[in-house]
């Protein structure tokens, strides 16, 4: 499995563990099972529903309650996965935090129709109905509502939530608060941002630029993915105002296309070298 998918599954499992631990008060009481490319999360309340996340070669699939699934297509180029993985993670968080309600209608004990609502009590939006169809008039479905009762690690910042018509849960994780500083990256001419949160991007890019300049590596490829372009614009804004950047351009064929940016760095000036030299 590629690094972006591995990091995604780790983050999903961490979200579930944090949510369930806060609900039950014991970090050891959770139903999170990871098996290769699959993470299964058991409900955190009796009337909740399970969440399963699987990573395939061409898609990420989130299954709710074993009755409804959403498929997030992955691109052939792994540089393009940023939005698909982010939307899938947002859906998992919304399901765990009680922002998704499933109404499962059963006939003779078998699912007949599933209605998925997104929002919160008093403000539910019907997102999708799946199944249904013809039935004998004397056969009445039995409706069962399911909603998880987990809590996020901190209140969701509603201002940061920017839902989309095709994904009203988008952005539900919002601003997750302070995060640990990114680890130093190897000086190998490549910086892949897929495994990092938006808060880590600027300090990571700045530190990577300086590390490369100090060691004389003046060609840098930053992988930000295509997606809707937010991450690309952030990276370009950083590069445009950095005095150590000589030029930058989008990657061409074989270099990530517009999912990556090629950067040419200036070598450190003698003055910069003097600043870093020890005082005798």
pLDDT digits (tens, 9 = 90+) for 66-109: 889 999 887 654 444 457 788 899 999 999 988 999 999 988 87
- Alpha-carbon gap, residue 222 to 246, rounded angstroms: 15
- pLDDT score recorded for residue 234: 87
- pLDDT score recorded for residue 209: 92
> What's the mean per-residue pLDDT of the chain?
77
- pLDDT score recorded for residue 217: 93
Q: Pick from 69, 115, 109, 113: which is nearest to 92 by CA?
A: 69
pLDDT tens digits for range 5-18? 777 787 887 787 77
- Alpha-carbon gap, residue 250 to 260, rounded angstroms: 6
In what helix (H) or strand (E) does residue 117 lie, and over which residues does it extend?
strand 110-118
Give backbone dihedrals phi and psi of 271, rounded to 5 degrees, phi first: -65, -40
Q: Pick from 112, 85, 111, 102: which is nearest to 8 by CA?
A: 85
- pLDDT score recorded for residue 153: 64
Please determine, for residue 37, whether its predicted confidence score (pLDDT) is greater than 90: no
In what helix (H) or strand (E) does residue 210 lie, and over which residues does it extend?
helix 198-214
**Region 26-55: what's the mean pLDDT?**
70
- pLDDT score recorded for residue 158: 52
Residues with Cβ within 8 Å of residue 88, at least 6 apart in sequence: 8, 12, 53, 60, 62, 70, 72
**Region 223-229: what's the mean pLDDT?**
75
pLDDT bracket for residue 147 (50, 70, 90)? very high
Is pTM, for the whole model, over 0.75? no
Determine what percent of the chain is predicted with pLDDT higher than 90.
22
């Amino acid at each position: 499995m590629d690094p972006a998918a591995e990091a995604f599954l780790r983050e999903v499992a961490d979200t579930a563990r944090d949510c369930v631990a806060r609900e039950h008060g014991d970090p050891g009481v959770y139903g999170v099972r990871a098996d290769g490319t699959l993470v299964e999360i058991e409900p955190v309340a009796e009337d909740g529903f399970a969440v399963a996340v699987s990573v395939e070669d061409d898609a990420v699939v989130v299954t709710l309650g074993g009755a409804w699934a959403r498929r997030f297509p992955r691109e052939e180029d792994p540089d393009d996965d940023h939005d698909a993985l982010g939307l899938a993670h947002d859906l998992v968080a919304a399901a765990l935090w009680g922002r998704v309600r499933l109404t499962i209608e059963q006939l003779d004990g078998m699912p007949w129709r599933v209605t998925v609502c997104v929002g919160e009590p008093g403000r539910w939006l019907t997102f999708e109905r799946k199944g249904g169809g013809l039935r004998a008039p004397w056969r009445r479905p039995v409706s069962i509502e399911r909603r998880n009762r987990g809590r996020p690690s901190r209140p969701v910042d509603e201002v940061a939530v920017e839902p989309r018509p095709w994904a009203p849960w988008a952005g539900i994780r919002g601003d997750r608060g302070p995060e640990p500083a990114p680890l130093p990256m190897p000086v190998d001419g490549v910086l892949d941002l897929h495994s990092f949160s938006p808060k880590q991007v600027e300090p990571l890019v700045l530190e990577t630029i300086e590390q490369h300049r100090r060691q004389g590596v003046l060609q840098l490829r930053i992988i930000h993915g295509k997606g809707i372009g937010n991450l690309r614009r952030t990276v370009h804004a950083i590069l445009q105002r950095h005095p150590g950047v000589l030029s930058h351009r989008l990657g061409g064929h074989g270099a990530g296309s517009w999912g990556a940016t090629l950067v040419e760095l200036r070598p450190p000036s003698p003055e910069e070298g003097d600043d870093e030299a020890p005082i005798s």
